């Protein structure tokens, strides 16, 4: 039963909407320039001239594969430093970009639209295919980055060897209670520029406290999120969760049982919606002690070893004591 407090809050927000009028959540438009996408040493330039800063981590010898890494909400490419260092040691090159509106891009903190993020991804893959024609390219998406990867499949096929989804953001409106959907809509249409910090919420994105403190000191990590950005990310998660399971390549999905950022229920709802697939095509790894930031948790080495093994040893089933069988945790 819905509490009287929730009903009262919903009614109050409705009154606010009537009194203040309705506005539209802001979406940053693309640049007006038209150009050919190009790849440079420290940036990629998209078809509208927008610059995506990037960092490459190369192995000492020849690379065995290339990973294009997409960060999560409010993060940026530097968040992949430990991941990329680990994978480079295994012989895998990692290229991480700042997605539009994050990190060192122009105008951080504004939402550029799901379609623009997925279009950038398709262009990045094309650029890497041209620059490294003899290399297998993999895509790694963390949280929101995973949602971008999934949503991009709605546009066109992703011509990559495989996709790694780390705690993918698939908390769509279909798995939210109605009052949460209603409150988000009202907030986005009455106070879209209002910034929220999440302060006071009892959330634990990782057990690596020193890493979280370092993120708090990093000026390029966004600390306050506009309401219209949250609305836009929810639109993105809707698209990601509704993606038809038509990707013909290999896919690795990783999730932690202690993840309280993307809850268990929507994750199970999404996993159960996927068509059955054999382990040679798709593996689902559930970590008993994993949090949302799996690749930076205290057990990150285990998670990263699993990613490297999955890339370098296709067809081999990953098993160890830290995992829960995916058929057990959704029961």
Q: What is the pLDDT of residue 6?
A: 46
> Tens of pLDDT along 67-99?
999 999 999 999 999 999 999 999 999 999 999
pTM: 0.92
| pLDDT value, residue 4 | 44
Can you tell me the mean pLDDT for 299-323?
Answer: 95
pLDDT at residue 157, as a whole number: 86
Percentage of the residues of the chain whose pLDDT score is greater than 70: 91
Q: What is the pLDDT of residue 263?
A: 92
Q: How would you write the chain as a 3-class SS string?
A: CCCHHHHHHHHHHHHHHHHHCCCCCCCCCCCCCCCCCEECCCEEECCCCCEEEEEEECCCCCCCEEEEEECCCCCCHHHHHHHHHHHHHCCEEEEEECCCCCCCCCCCCCCCCHHHHHHHHHHHHHHHHHHCCCCCEEEEEECHHHHHHHHHCCCCCCCCCEEEEECCCCCCHHHCCHHHHHHHHHHHHHCCCCEECCCCCCCCCCCCHHHHHHHHHCCCCCCCEEHHHHHHHHHHHHHHHCCCCCCCCEEEEEEECCCCCCCHHHHHHHHHHCCCCCCCCEEEEEECCCCCCHHHCCCHHHHHHHHHHHHHCCCCCCCCCCEECHHHHCC
Q: Where are the domains of the chain?
A: 28-329
pLDDT in tens, 165-217: 999 999 999 999 998 999 999 999 999 999 999 888 899 999 999 999 999 99
CATH number of 28-329: 3.40.50.1820
């Amino acid at each position: 039963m819905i509490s009287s407090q929730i009903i009262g809050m919903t009614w109050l927000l409705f009154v606010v909407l009537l009194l203040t009028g309705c506005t539209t959540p802001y979406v940053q438009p693309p640049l007006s320039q038209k150009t050919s996408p190009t790849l440079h040493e420290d940036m990629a330039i998209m078809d509208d001239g927008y610059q995506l800063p990037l960092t490459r981590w190369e192995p000492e010898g020849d690379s065995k594969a290339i990973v294009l890494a997409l960060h999560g909400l409010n993060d940026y490419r530097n968040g992949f430093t430990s991941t990329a260092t680990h994978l480079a040691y295994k012989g895998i090159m990692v290229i991480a970009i700042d997605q539009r509106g994050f990190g060192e891009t122009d105008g951080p903190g504004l939402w550029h639209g799901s379609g623009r993020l997925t279009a950038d991804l398709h262009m990045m893959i094309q650029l890497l295919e041209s620059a490294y024609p003899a290399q297998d390219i993999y895509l790694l998406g963390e949280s929101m980055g995973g949602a971008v990867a999934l949503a991009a499949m709605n546009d066109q096929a992703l011509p990559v060897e495989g996709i790694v989804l780390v705690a993918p953001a698939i908390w769509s409106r279909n798995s939210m209670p109605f009052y949460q959907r209603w409150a988000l809509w009202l907030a986005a249409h009455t106070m879209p520029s209002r910034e929220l910090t999440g302060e006071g919420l009892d959330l634990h994105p990782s057990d690596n406290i020193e890493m979280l403190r370092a993120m708090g000191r990093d000026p390029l990590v966004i600390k306050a999120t506009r309401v219209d950005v949250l609305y836009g990310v929810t639109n993105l998660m809707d698209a990601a969760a509704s993606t038809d399971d038509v990707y013909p390549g290999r896919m690795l999905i990783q999730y932690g049982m202690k993840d309280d950022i993307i809850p268990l229920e929507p994750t199970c709802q999404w996993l159960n919606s996927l068509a059955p697939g054999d382990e040679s095509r798709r593996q689902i790894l559930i970590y008993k002690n994993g949090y949302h930031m799996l690749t930076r948790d205290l057990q990150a080495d285990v998670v990263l070893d699993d990613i490297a093994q999955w890339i370098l040893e296709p067809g081999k089933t990953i098993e160890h004591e830290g995992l829960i069988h995916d058929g057990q945790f959704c029961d």
